[in-house]
Chains A and B, each alone.
Chain A
Amino acid sequence: MIPWFSLLAGMLALAGLYVAFFVAPTDHQQGEAYRIIFLHVPTAWMSMFLYVVMAGWAGIGLALNTRLSGMMASAIAPTGAMFTFLALWSGALWGRPTWGAYWVWDARLTSELVLLFLYLGFIALKSAIPDPVRADRAGAILALVGVVNVPIIYFSVQWWNTLHQGASVSLTRAPSMAATMLLGMLLMALAAWMYSIATALARVRSIILERERDAEWVRLQRAAT
């Protein structure tokens, strides 16, 4: 399954980049700088979405004591942290030409930075506890407490009157942008989605093999290769 999702991610990203750079028109206010949107918005969406999925797996593991749930949460965290970093990075490089500053302590930027620290804290906490069962439990509690930050990020532009603009795309009303821009963004978001599935599956595979290295089936598998 991993090669299929990787292939889909690659094709969607190529299509998305094509639309982003060759089809979508130049913005009349921001010129070409706005093309960062095709990276910034999908990575920001994924950073929040992956955190909710990660916390969901962690919560299932905590409630039902299933071993795989904790491994899934661990497998998602690094990719989520990467997307969070990229959202912040592309935002900084977009903020400089449009706002005049790489960084401001705006509500949305600050809460997204907190999200990055939550991901890093989750990874660090898990790797600091040698017993995997206890590590999963402690990580799950951290992930579940931190999930409160996701709605804060999402609604920060409505709750506080700060620099970051409101959402341009929502489920309830027509998007306030050109159709080709929206298409490019959706293609890139789908690519990021497929990419996340592929990396999470690849990572959970190696986590399973590592944790169960003494199990009979893993030893047989290793002997066979």
Chain B
Amino acid sequence: MSEFFAMGGYGFYVWGSYGVAALCICMEIFSLTSKKLKL
């Protein structure tokens, strides 16, 4: 398990990419759904 998250020493780069992507997508979905509720 920890081996999987280490990504052969490249964990920072791999999870840094995917983490920020997940964050951006969550932020966009949140902004869209909250805008919808306001109307």
**A39 to B13 Cα, complex, angstroms:** 12
Give the contact-size bracket for chain A.
20 to 34
A86-B14 contact in complex given A199-B32, A202-B32, A206-B35, C-beta closer than 8 Å: no
Contact residues on B (Cβ < 8 Å of other chain), bracket: 20 to 34
Docked complex Cα distance between A38 and B23 (Å): 17
Q: Are the C-beta atoms of A94 and B17 separated by less than 8 Å?
A: yes
For A39, what are the chain B residues with a Cβ–Cβ distance below 8 Å?
Answer: 17-18, 21
Residues of A within 8 Å of B18, CB to CB, are 39
A47 at interface, CB cutoff 8 A = no
Which listed residue, A78, A79, A96, A195, touches B13 by the CB 8 Å rule? A96
Q: For window 29-43 of chain A, which residues contact chain B by CB distance below 8 Å?
A: 31-33, 35-36, 39-40, 43
Residues in B neighbouring A90, C-beta threshold 8 A: 17, 20-21
Question: Which of B18-34 touch A at CB < 8 Å?
Answer: 18, 20-21, 24-25, 28-29, 32
Q: Is the CB of A202 within 8 A of B10?
A: no
Query: With an 8 A cutoff between CB atoms, is A85 at the interface?
Result: yes
- When the two chains form their complex, are residues A89 and B20 in contact, meaning their CB atoms are under 8 A apart? yes
- Contact between B13 and A89, CB atoms less than 8 A apart: no
Please tell me if the beta carbons of A209 and B17 are within 8 angstroms of each other in the complex. Answer: no
Give the complex CA separation of A199 and B25 in angstroms.
10
State A26–B10 Cα separation when bound (angstroms).
12
In the assembled complex, which residues on chain B have CB atoms less than 8 Å from the CB atom of A33? 7-8, 10, 13-14
Alpha-carbon distance A11/B35, docked complex (angstroms)? 25
Once A40-B17, A93-B16, A94-B13 are accepted as A-B contacts, the answer to whether A209 and B8 lie under 8 Å apart by CB is no
B39 sits at the interface (CB 8 A):
yes
- Report if A222-B13 is in contact (Cβ < 8 Å); known contacts: A39-B18, A79-B28: no
**Does A82 touch B at the CB level, under 8 Å?**
yes
Give the distance to chain A from B23, nearest Cβ to Cβ, in Å.
10
B28 touches A32 (CB 8 A): no
Q: List 28 A-B contacts (CB under 8 A).
A: A21-B4, A31-B9, A32-B10, A33-B8, A33-B13, A33-B14, A35-B7, A36-B14, A39-B21, A40-B17, A43-B21, A78-B28, A86-B17, A86-B20, A86-B21, A86-B24, A89-B17, A89-B21, A93-B14, A93-B17, A94-B17, A97-B13, A199-B28, A202-B32, A205-B36, A206-B32, A209-B39, A210-B39
